[in-house]
């Protein structure tokens, strides 16, 4: 029996892009990744088209509770957006190239702005549950880099600069929007770890010592690839549990979702203002 030819990574991306292009007709320049418990932004989106991840060639499938696995094309604040209702994590067993596959698909679809949200543990002792933290920088502690291997020259250079992976203008816009709406805004450094277990007390102390304000299990791989692709990125965390020494306690996924629901209206208001000010 003849073996079917194995497609290259780039061919898989092109196949997914072609499927999505055949399903949507509107040009789109802004992508959104909705994190754990943060899917209600979709209530404000006038949905044009829903596509199940399982229908898109070579697209991974979400396996985490609260990640619904749909690609949503819609309009919000006068802009057409493509939103991922559910993301992929390294701890699910996917390679980093699989985790970040949708970012390269978005790039080929013409997306040049990426908005990312996540749920995170608060390491900064000033943080409270339900707070919002705009990510200014990150610390990558994942065991694999999504750019490892042969460089995909059509997306970016071999050694991309990461001194400003988060767009400073979008950060300023979000801070101004928060103040205008009387929403307390924190800014800080996000540390990304493999998971899926939460950290030990010693690990929390370590993360705080090296300069992290919040910790989570996502976002950084997508941001690295987005930066490689030349996208402008805005990222924001919902603080769903407290990890400073005096505040550590055992927490369940139900408590994380409940805390995300507290932060969600504030986060949604900020994302609205960012979308309004994105050009194109």
Cβ neighbours, 10 Å, residue 150: 9
3 state SS of 18: helix
| Residue closest to 108 by CA, chosen among 187, 19, 209 | 19
Per-residue tens of pLDDT for the chain, all 280 residues? 555 568 889 999 999 999 999 988 878 999 999 887 667 777 888 899 999 999 999 999 876 655 468 899 999 888 899 999 888 999 999 999 999 999 999 999 999 999 999 999 999 999 999 999 999 999 999 999 999 999 999 999 999 999 999 999 999 999 998 888 888 889 999 999 998 998 999 999 999 999 999 999 999 999 999 999 999 999 999 998 888 877 777 877 788 788 888 888 888 889 888 998 886 5
Give the architecture-level CATH label for domain 26-276.
3-Layer(aba) Sandwich (3.40)
Contacts of 194-199 with C-beta under 8 Å, sequence gap 24+, read: 194/90, 194/91, 194/141, 194/142, 194/143, 195/89, 195/90, 195/91, 196/89, 196/91, 198/121, 198/251, 199/121, 199/243
Report residue 81 as tokens: 């957006």
Q: What is the pLDDT of residue 71?
A: 93
pTM, 2 dp:
0.92
Peptide bond into 101 cis (omega under 30): no
- Cα(188)–Cα(211) distance, rounded to whole angstroms? 9
Pair 134, 233: CB distance under 8 Å: no
Q: What is the pLDDT of residue 3?
A: 53
């Amino acid at each position: 029996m003849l073996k079917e030819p194995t497609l290259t990574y780039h061919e898989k991306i092109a196949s997914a892009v072609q499927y999505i292009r055949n399903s949507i007709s509107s040009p789109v320049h802004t992508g959104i990744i909705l994190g754990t418990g943060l899917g209600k932004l979709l209530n404000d989106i006038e949905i044009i088209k829903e596509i199940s991840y399982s229908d898109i060639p070579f697209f991974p499938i979400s396996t985490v509770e609260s990640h619904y696995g749909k690609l949503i094309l819609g309009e919000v604040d006068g802009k057409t957006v493509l939103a991922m209702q559910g993301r992929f994590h390294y701890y699910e067993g996917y390679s980093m190239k699989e985790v970040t596959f949708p970012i390269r698909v978005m790039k080929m679809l013409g997306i040049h702005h990426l908005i990312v949200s996540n749920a995170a543990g608060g390491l900064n002792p000033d943080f409270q549950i339900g707070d919002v933290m705009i990510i200014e920088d990150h610390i990558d502690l994942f065991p694999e880099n999504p750019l490892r291997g042969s460089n995909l020259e059509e997306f970016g250079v071999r050694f991309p600069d990461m001194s400003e992976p988060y767009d400073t203008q979008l950060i300023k816009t979000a801070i101004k929007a928060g103040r205008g709406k009387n929403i307390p805004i924190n800014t800080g450094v996000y540390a990304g770890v493999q998971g899926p277990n939460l950290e030990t007390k010693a690990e929390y102390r370590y993360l705080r010592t090296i300069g992290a304000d919040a910790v989570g299990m996502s976002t950084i791989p997508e941001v690295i690839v987005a930066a490689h692709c030349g996208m402008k990125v805005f990222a924001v965390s919902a603080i769903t549990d407290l990890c400073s020494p005096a505040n550590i306690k055992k927490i369940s996924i139900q408590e994380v979702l409940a805390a995300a629901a507290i932060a969600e209206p504030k986060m949604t208001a900020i994302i609205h203002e960012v979308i309004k000010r994105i050009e194109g």
